[in-house]
Structure 1
Amino acid sequence: MNGLVDIHCHLLPGIDDGAADLEASLAMARMSVEQGVETIVVTPHQLGAFECNRGDDIRRRTAELQAELTRHDIPLRVLPGADVRIEDHMIAGLQSGDVLSLGDHRRHVLLELPHELYFPLEPVLNGLKRIGMAGVLSHPERNAGLLARQDLIESLVDDGCLMQVTAGSLVGGFGPDSQAMAERMASRGLIHFLSTDGHSPKRRRPRLGEAYTRAVELVGEDAARLWCSENPRAVAEGREVVPGPIVVRKPRRGWSLFSRGAA
């Protein structure tokens, strides 16, 4: 499928642990286009160990990368964003614009937990709601704390947290435990976005098209399109994404997607 949108990709060169240089960025961009992606929200790390990454610098680098993509005839649109480590001063940074929301629309914030643990997100989600923003939790299926307490996912989704699962997890790139959790979340309608979290053309490659194909096998084309195109496109355009779980069920042939509360 074409028309895919990736809202989590470390495509900017030389700013974090993602693409090392422009050559790597261009290689990742070409891979993404081959996978059917037409828009990427670039998400360098902010806060935590990457406190030095500032909003205006990310905006400038994103515009420079777009110019390079155009110069190299790569049909890909890039928008500014960030993979934001949850810190006490995160809300203030979002309000000032120094910490970036996805697409720089001040509507959706990509939230990163420490990989090795989980801590309650309700205060963070409530703080974002007070300033008119929604939290998108990045790669919950790879967080050690949530892998050990998978029952927490449903309550977080019920509380309005949007879930972004890594494309590579769904196709087995992060091991059987993360794959099993990603598949379980898919079957229970607890995913809002599939995104690549791409870091390199060789290591953690962008694989959104492969994940789309796997999602079709698991839950049908409607759900796969929602997670890989419709919801991420809404984020990229600054529109609302409906929170809460969706209801998926298995009819006589394959899986179909129904709105929450469908019979």
Structure 2
Amino acid sequence: MIDMHSHILWNVDDGPKTMVESMKMFQQAVKEGITNIIATSHCHHPQHHVDYNVVNNQMHILQNELTNNSIPLTLHVGHEVRLSEKIVSLYKAKQIHTLANSNYLLLELPSHTIPYYTTSMIQALLVEGITPIIAHPERNKAIAEKPSRLEQLIREGALAQITAGSLAGLFGRNIQKLSLDLVKANLVHSYGSDVHNLTKRPFLFDAGLCYLEKKKQLDAVDTLLENNARILENKPFIIHETEEIEVVKWWNLYKSFVY
């Protein structure tokens, strides 16, 4: 299985602090059935930015460590790129990594809003042949308040990624329920752990899948995992027609929202 959203490089953002911690995370990944991980360190985030070459250098070191320790895991480059009006120029200047050098890019929205220029940036990326995958939309307050906002972004050509921990209940019942609703409505297309460490932000990769199976979303599990594989193959996603989702006012329920 492939984890397409992770923070596994050490001492560069809010992920692990040491290489030893990174290696322990890899051991846990294997226990959860993960065979490939795309490293998506923060890029041009207000608090964190991991340089393009830093990603390359650390990935080389970590992959060598995995090989030397006979850990059956393959790493791939990537970035979790914060939305900005400069995103296309950054891509052209080779300052941001796409996912596993594919035509997919993991795009992070601000926590609370969907900026007015989001649609134009999605369209500009598509012109360059890059399909943006919106990271953890279930944790964006504007989308939580009105899920049809995510549907509109998808109709503009974006895709979306659901987080294992959200489905497993790590961020609370409200986000868990919204996550399941988005899955049922076919408004998310790929699946990632967004792991940062083994304590407060663990993989929960298997737990999220088990939750979907418990809720009888077996077809969704197959599609999410297949689409993850298609990132590595740089192939088009399996896309199911979106279904109507009840628009509920979630805003007051998110007072205890965790970023």
Counting only pairs closer than 5 Å after superposition, residues 58-207 of structure 1 correspond to structure 2 as 58-105=55-102, 107-120=103-116, 121-207=118-204
2:13 is aligned to 16
- Gaps of at least 5 residues in structure 2 are 244-259
The percentage of counterpart residues that share the same residue type is 26
1:30 and 2:27 equivalent? yes
**Comparing 95-104 and 123-132, the one that deviates more:** 95-104
1:50 Cα deviation from its structure 2 partner: 5.7
User: C-alpha distance in 1, partners of 2:195/2:48?
Assistant: 21
Is 1:235 aligned to 2:231, yes or no?
yes
- Report if aligned partners of 1:167, 1:195 keep a CA contact under 8 Å in 2: yes
Residue of structure 1 in register with 2:252 after alignment: none
Looking at structure 2, the residues matched to 80 and 140 of structure 1 have their Cα atoms a distance apart, in angstroms, of 22
Give the Cα–Cα distance (whole angstroms) in 1 for the partners of residues 182 and 87 of structure 2: 28
Structure 1 residue ranges (4+ consecutive) displaced by more than 4 angstroms after TM superposition: none
Tell me, yes or no, if the aligned pair for 2:13 and 2:48 is still in contact at 8 Å: no
- Whole-angstrom CA distance in 2 between matches of 1:245 and 1:87: 29
Question: Secondary structure of the equivalent of 2:113?
Answer: coil
Superposition TM-score, scaled by structure 2 size:
0.88
Work out the CA distance in 1 between the residues paired with 2:168 and 2:49: 34
Structure 1 unaligned blocks of 5 or more: 248-263
Name 2:253's counterpart in structure 1: none
C-alpha contact 2:154 2:187 (8 A) present in aligned 1:
yes
How many angstroms does 1:157 deviate by? 2.1
TM-score after normalising by structure 1: 0.87
- State how far apart, in whole Å, the 2-side matches of 1:52 and 1:221 are: 37
- Aligned-residue Cα RMSD (Å) equals 1.8
- Name the SS of the counterpart of 2:162 in structure 1: strand
Cα distance in structure 2, aligned partners of 1:98 and 1:132: 17
Instruction: Determine if contact 2:123/2:157 at 8 Å carries over to the other structure.
Output: no
Q: What SS class does the counterpart of residue 83 from structure 1 fall into?
A: strand
Contact 1:158 1:245 in 2 (8 A): no
